[in-house]
Amino acid sequence: MKTFKPYKKKFLGWLFTIPIILSVIGLFFVFEASSVRSYQQFGDSFHFFKLQITWVVFGIVAMIFFSFFDYHKLYYLSIFFIVGTIFLLFLVLIPDIGRQAGGARRWIDFGFFNLQPTELAKLSVIIYLSSWFMNRERKRFFSFITLLSILIFLIILQPDMGTAFIVFSLGIIIYFLAGIELWYLLFLIPISFGAFLLLVKISPYRLRRLLAFFDPKIDPLGITYHINQILISLGSGGLIGLGLGASRQKYLYLPEAHTDSIFAIIGEEFGFIGSMLLITVYMYLMYRLYQIALNAPDRFGKLLAGGAFAFFNLQAIVNLAGMVNLLPLTGVPLPFISYGGSNLLVSFILMGILINISKRVRFL
């Protein structure tokens, strides 16, 4: 049987265009949500917008490059990805190197751009573990847990619980997809629960965040201020929204309006209908990515595509669930929409890898 080429070309076309469409939407709302803060801090309403559009251009170039770069070669580069990431995660903790903002040390300032190593950790985990589990070798669980623990420990030191959760989840999902002694995963249930309780106990801030999740009214001017402003923003949008550019929360009421909370601005201006349209685009993209993971031509491709599929789903679900208080706020960005160069670049790279895999899929 022959591949239905016109359909496949259309499929690949959508894989290229959907991330770009989402990024253009993101650019508009980054400007919408950040213009007031940008002018207040830098005297330029377009400051964050110009930075974001630069990263979008770099991201599209990276997506095109990896869509033509044979993904099998990533197997030989995987060790450099993980070693480089661990080195950068150490580096960012050094006071004179890592840049601190909002109580967290997550960025390395290279002068003309800032790099967030935790975002690279997501990409490196997908590539390295997919390479590591290429063969169904036994007795790898404890080595796997050791590596994952090192990464999570370095990320929590920053601190960045949201990314630590994403990296941990990606690791477990890829291990599950590899199908190697799955019963070992049962050991992780009490260990993970115990580690979570320990982190909450040693950090009063995390405990307050957890309490804020269960009761957003306990401290409306303090720890629950952020989630309350998000809910006000979404509630103000109603069914059809206040209209283009009519957001009131962007006037410095809503914290992180152009980054993690950008969906609240979208909901405020375009309401429930606009929000659901955006979510529908994400659902369509996830369905297409699932098709790639399901039909990947080899084991390495299946693990890579499965890890990338998990990455986009985890990022979107954790962000959106946090916006409606179904999960605690974690600082996880919305793919292609939220402001942030490192996450945007990683997202485009993964899309490029998925496109490259899909080219080798016989049937889609």
How do residues 77-133 score in pLDDT, each as one tens digit? Answer: 989 999 999 998 888 887 777 666 655 666 776 666 677 888 889 999 999 999 988
Residue whose C-alpha is closest to residue 311's, from 348, 340, 284: 348
> What pLDDT was estimated at residue 221?
67
Under a CB-based contact definition with an 8 Å cutoff, are residues 304 and 127 in contact? yes
> What pLDDT was estimated at residue 15?
85
Under a CB-based contact definition with an 8 Å cutoff, are residues 275 and 356 in contact? no
d(CA 116, CA 98): 10
Backbone phi and psi for residue 104, each to the nearest 5 degrees, phi listed first:
-125, 145
d(CA 217, CA 225): 9
What is the Rg, in whole angstroms, of the alpha carbon atoms belonging to the chain? 21
**DSSP letter, residue 238:** T
> What pLDDT was estimated at residue 228?
85
pLDDT beneath 50, residues of the chain: 1-3
Under a CB-based contact definition with an 8 Å cutoff, are residues 170 and 122 in contact? yes
Residue whose C-alpha is closest to residue 238's, from 272, 276, 261: 272
What are the strands, taking DSSP E only, across 4-153? 98-101, 104-109, 114-115
- The number of angstroms, rounded, from the C-alpha of 11 to the middle of its chain's C-alpha atoms is 23
> What pLDDT was estimated at residue 3?
46
Strand partners, 99: 107
Token representation of residue 141: 């669980």
d(CA 229, CA 102): 18
> What pLDDT was estimated at residue 1?
39
- The number of angstroms, rounded, from the C-alpha of 225 to the middle of its chain's C-alpha atoms is 24
> What pLDDT was estimated at residue 159?
76
Count of all residues that appear for the chain in the document = 364
Under a CB-based contact definition with an 8 Å cutoff, are residues 181 and 141 in contact? yes
Q: How far from 52 is each of 34, 56, 57, 114, CA to CA, in Å?
A: 11, 6, 9, 12
> What pLDDT was estimated at residue 137?
57
> What pLDDT was estimated at residue 104?
62
Token representation of residue 31: 């400007």
> What pLDDT was estimated at residue 105?
65
d(CA 165, CA 168): 5
Residue whose structure tokens are 């059809």: 240
Helices (H), ranges, 117-256: 117-132, 141-156, 161-178, 188-202, 204-214, 225-237
